[in-house]
Structure 1
Amino acid sequence: MSAPILIMGATSGIGALAVTEAAGRGLPVRAFARSADNLEKTDLIEPFAWDARSAEDVTAAFAGARAVIYTLGIKERLAMLWEEETLFSDSTRVLIEAMKDSDTKRLVAVTGFGAGRSRSAMSSIECFGHGTILGRPYADKDRQEAMIIESEIDWTIVRPVILTNSAKSRGLKVLRDPSTWRNGLVSRRSVACYLVDAVEDGLDIRADVVLTR
């Protein structure tokens, strides 16, 4: 059996769908999340119920992994309007340090449209609404992206636009040229499929892309 893909944030949203997508292709997965104990262990899925901010836990999860898919997210709450968010930068700092000392050099990380340099593709109205509601979480995603870009690993930054729970889109567009970046809708299933493709096919290494339909 081939080396597993470590999926961080594996029990909800895009991460859970990426686990299903990878296993459906016969690829072994190491499913990393605080609540991974709720997952059933199978021949292809190995649950890891550990902490993404813990260097010891992340280093242990790396053992023998071929790549990392990062899909960590936060629960939406009123307090995120004023509380500083550090999950994305804290966990990414730990992750990159662990990758320096491992044989795992491939990272596919989900952030979001409006993070990093994709913010310049937003209209002034979009920027205002996005900044008002998601300003603090996305400020941390900005820090996260900067860490990834400055690292020496084989990274891909993936920015989905507004997410839906619809079926996988046949017309998924991977926007690579910043002049084409735009907002829109994309299904979580389509994003999960791209993440696994990016690992399997070596897509968009050391590049940042926007996903839409």
Structure 2
Amino acid sequence: MKVAVIGATRGIGLELVRAALADGHEVTALVRDPASLAEKSPRLRIVKGSAEDATAVANVVEGQDVVCDTLGTRNVTGEVRLFSNAAEKLAAALQPDQLLITVTGIGAGDSKGHGGFLYDKVFMPLVLRRMYADKDRQEAIIRNRVARWIIVRPGFLTNGPRTGKVRAVTDLRGVTGNKISRADVAEFILAQAKSPEFIGKTPLLISPISR
């Protein structure tokens, strides 16, 4: 399988690159600085460019079976347009038979209000408001303009090990997000890339102890 990863140098994207290579797949990674991606493999193709550049995105998307958008940002003070700009470029480049798997997060779309009191009432409005406004724009572009998509909304991310224990929840009644490792999120994405079960859905990923 040919898998493209956008946002491959850290976090979920880096974990996904490692998992896909270990599973024997061909991986194409879009990165701003190729030197920042330490992974090496004959099956890893690195493309230098920005997720907001139409030419770079089209180059990465071409010929892929699955495209995974795992972009993140440390910008929590200024206006954020990274996610929606990248979604626009992806929507224009993807073919109808290609699958897009995008990571947004808890607080996007109808997962808003499922993060617990401090997250929902304090952290989200004071710190993450601009970021999640753009994630909402990103999700709307994907829903309206991409033929085959899965939007993955992880709970609270950690750098813990892969456990293989993930709940993917689409009925959020009574559910509050909890901690989940980036490695577990990457494993879920790879599993969906190989055998998609959530096309056209927005699963919230949490650990099994949450209800």
Scaled by the length of structure 2, the TM-score of the pair is 0.91
Instruction: Indicate the residue corresponding to 2:154 in structure 1.
Output: 160
Instruction: Indicate the residue corresponding to 1:54 in structure 2.
Output: 53
List gaps (5 residues or longer) in structure 2: none
1:7 to 5, 8, 16: 5
1:208 and 2:202 are equivalent in the alignment: yes
Determine if contact 1:41/1:47 at 8 Å carries over to the other structure: no
Instruction: Indicate the residue corresponding to 1:107 in structure 2.
Output: 100
- Matching residue's letter, 1:113: I
1:178 to 165, 169, 172: 172
Task: Pick the structure with more helix per residue.
Answer: 1
Instruction: Indicate the residue corresponding to 2:92 in structure 1.
Output: 97
Q: C-alpha distance in 2, partners of 1:94/1:169?
A: 34
Q: CA deviation at 1:157?
A: 0.6
Instruction: Indicate the residue corresponding to 1:86 in structure 2.
Output: 81
Determine if contact 2:64/2:98 at 8 Å carries over to the other structure: no
Q: CA deviation at 1:176?
A: 2.0
Q: CA deviation at 1:9?
A: 0.3
Determine if contact 1:118/1:181 at 8 Å carries over to the other structure: no
List gaps (5 residues or longer) in structure 1: none
Determine if contact 2:47/2:60 at 8 Å carries over to the other structure: yes
Secondary structure of the corresponding residue to residue 18 of structure 1: helix
Q: CA deviation at 1:123?
A: 4.4
Instruction: Indicate the residue corresponding to 1:126 in structure 2.
Output: 119
Instruction: Indicate the residue corresponding to 1:71 in structure 2.
Output: 70
Q: C-alpha distance in 1, partners of 2:171/2:96?
A: 31
Q: CA deviation at 1:11?
A: 0.7
Instruction: Indicate the residue corresponding to 1:188 in structure 2.
Output: 182
Secondary structure of the corresponding residue to residue 121 of structure 1: coil
Secondary structure of the corresponding residue to residue 7 of structure 1: strand
Q: 1:37 to 1:123 in 2, by over 3 A?
A: closer
Q: CA deviation at 1:41?
A: 4.6
Q: CA deviation at 1:153?
A: 1.6
Instruction: Indicate the residue corresponding to 1:169 in structure 2.
Output: 163
- Matching residue's letter, 2:134: D
Figure out how many residues of one structure are paired with residues of the other and give that number.
205
Secondary structure of the corresponding residue to residue 46 of structure 1: strand
Q: CA deviation at 1:34?
A: 0.8
Instruction: Tell me how large the CA RMSD over aligned residues is.
Output: 1.6
- Matching residue's letter, 1:176: T
Q: CA deviation at 1:56?
A: 1.0
Percent of paired sites with the same residue:
31
